[in-house]
Structure 1
Amino acid sequence: MEKGDDIINPSFAAALMKMDPEDGAQIMDYIRTQALLSREKALLQSSVREQKKLLVENGKLKKDIEDLRGQLQDKQRRRIAKTLLAPVTPLQTSPASSADSPAPSLVDQPAVERRDGQRRKRGDRRSRSGAGSDLLLGMEPRLDVSRLDLRVGRVLSTRSHAQSLSIQEVDVGEPAPRTVVSKLGANIQLDQLPGAMVVLICNVKACKLRGVVSKARLVCCGQSKDCIELLTPPPGSTPGDRITFLNFPGEADKELPTKDHVFERLQPDLCVDSKGVAHYKGCGFEVKGKGLCRAPTVINCSIR
Structure 2
Amino acid sequence: MDNMDNLFNPSLAAALMKLDPDDGEQIMEYFKTHALLSREKALLQASVREQKKLLVENAKLKKDIEQLRGQLQEKQKRRTAKALASQAPPSLSINSAPSSSVTHRTSLAEAAAAMTANLHLSSSSSHEGKDRQSRRRRGERKARPTSDPLSLGVESQIDPSRLDLRVGRILNIRRHPLAEAMSVQQVDVGENVPRTVVSRLGEKTQLDKMQGSMAVLLCNVKASKMRGVASQGRLLCCSASENCVELLVPPSGSSPGDRVTFLSYPGEPDRELQSKQRVWELLQPDLKVDCRGVANYKGCGFEVKGKGLCRAPTLTSCTIR
State the TM-score, normalizing by the size of structure 2: 0.55
Q: Deviations over 1:100-125 (max 9, x none)?
A: 4798xxxxxxxxx9x99986764333
Aligned to 2:208: 191
Judge conservation of contact 1:273–1:299 (CA < 8 Å) in 2: yes
Match of 2:311 in 1: 294
**Mapping of residues 216-295 of structure 1, within 5 Å:** 216-295=233-312
Match status 1:124 vs 2:133: yes
Give secondary structure in 2 for the equivalent of 1:232: coil
Q: How many Å separate the matches in 1 of 2:289 and 2:126?
A: 59
Report the Cα distance in structure 1 between the residues aligned to 2:262 and 2:308, rounded to whole angstroms: 12
Deviations for 1:78-99, whole angstroms, at most 9, x for unmatched residues? xxxxx9xxxxxxx9x9898995
2:169 aligns with 154
Q: SS at 1:155's partner residue?
A: strand
* 8 Å CA contact retained: 1:181, 1:209: yes
CA distance in 2, matches of 1:250, 1:188: 35
| Deviations, residues 128-172 of structure 1 (Å, cap 9, x unaligned) | 4479x99x9977633222222111111122221122211111111
Aligned to 2:101: none
In 1, Cα distance between the equivalents of 2:275 and 2:132? Answer: 27
Q: Which residue does the alignment assign to 2:179?
A: 163
Give the number of aligned pairs: 218
Cα-to-partner distance string for 1:264-302 (whole Å, 9 max, x where unaligned): 332332221222211111111100011111111112221
* Alpha-carbon separation, structure 2, partners of 1:156 and 1:218: 13
% identity of equivalent residues = 56
Q: Secondary structure at the match of 2:259?
A: coil
Say if 2:185 and 2:196, in contact at 8 Å, map to a contact too: yes
CA distance in 1, matches of 2:304, 2:242: 27
- For the residue of structure 2 that corresponds to 1:279, the secondary structure is strand
Specify the SS of the correspondent of 2:156.
Answer: coil
Give TM-score scaled by structure 1 length: 0.57
Amino acid in the other structure paired with 2:308: G
Q: What is the Cα deviation at residue 205 of structure 1?
A: 1.9
Is the CA contact 2:161–2:267 (under 8 Å) kept in the aligned structure 1? yes
Q: Secondary structure at the match of 1:266?
A: helix
Q: Structure 1 183/101 Cα, relative in aligned 2: closer, same or farther at 3 Å?
A: same
Structure 1 residues 121 and 231 mapped into 2: Cα distance closer, same or farther (>3 Å)? Answer: same
User: CA 1:99 to 1:285, structure 2 compared with 1: closer, same or farther past 3 Å?
Assistant: same
Using the TM superposition, name which of 237-246 and 262-271 deviates more.
262-271
* Whole-angstrom CA distance in 1 between matches of 2:170 and 2:162: 24
Amino acid aligned to 1:209:
M
Q: Which has the larger radius of gyration?
A: 1
Distance 1:278 1:171 in 2: 22
The answer for unaligned runs of 5 or more in structure 1 is 1-61, 77-82, 84-90, 104-112
Q: Return the alpha-carbon distance in structure 2 between the equivalents of residues 273 and 117 of structure 1.
A: 55
Are the counterparts in 1 of residues 167 and 217 from structure 2 also a CA contact under 8 Å? yes
TM alignment of 1:39-188, pairs within 5 A: 99-100=112-113, 122-128=131-137, 129=139, 141-161=156-176, 162-164=178-180, 165-188=182-205
Secondary structure of 2:208's counterpart equals helix
Structure 1 residue 127: Cα displacement = 4.1
Post-superposition CA distance 1:241-265 (Å, at most 9, x none): 1111111213322222324433333
Equivalent-residue separation in structure 1 for 2:250 and 2:265 (angstroms): 19
Taking the aligned partners of 2:255 and 2:213, their CA distance within structure 1 comes to 11
Shift of 1:222: 2.4
Q: CA RMSD in A?
A: 4.2
Structure 1 residue matching 2:135: 3-state secondary structure: helix
Of the structure 1 ranges 145-154 and 217-226, higher mean CA displacement relative to structure 2 is found in: 145-154
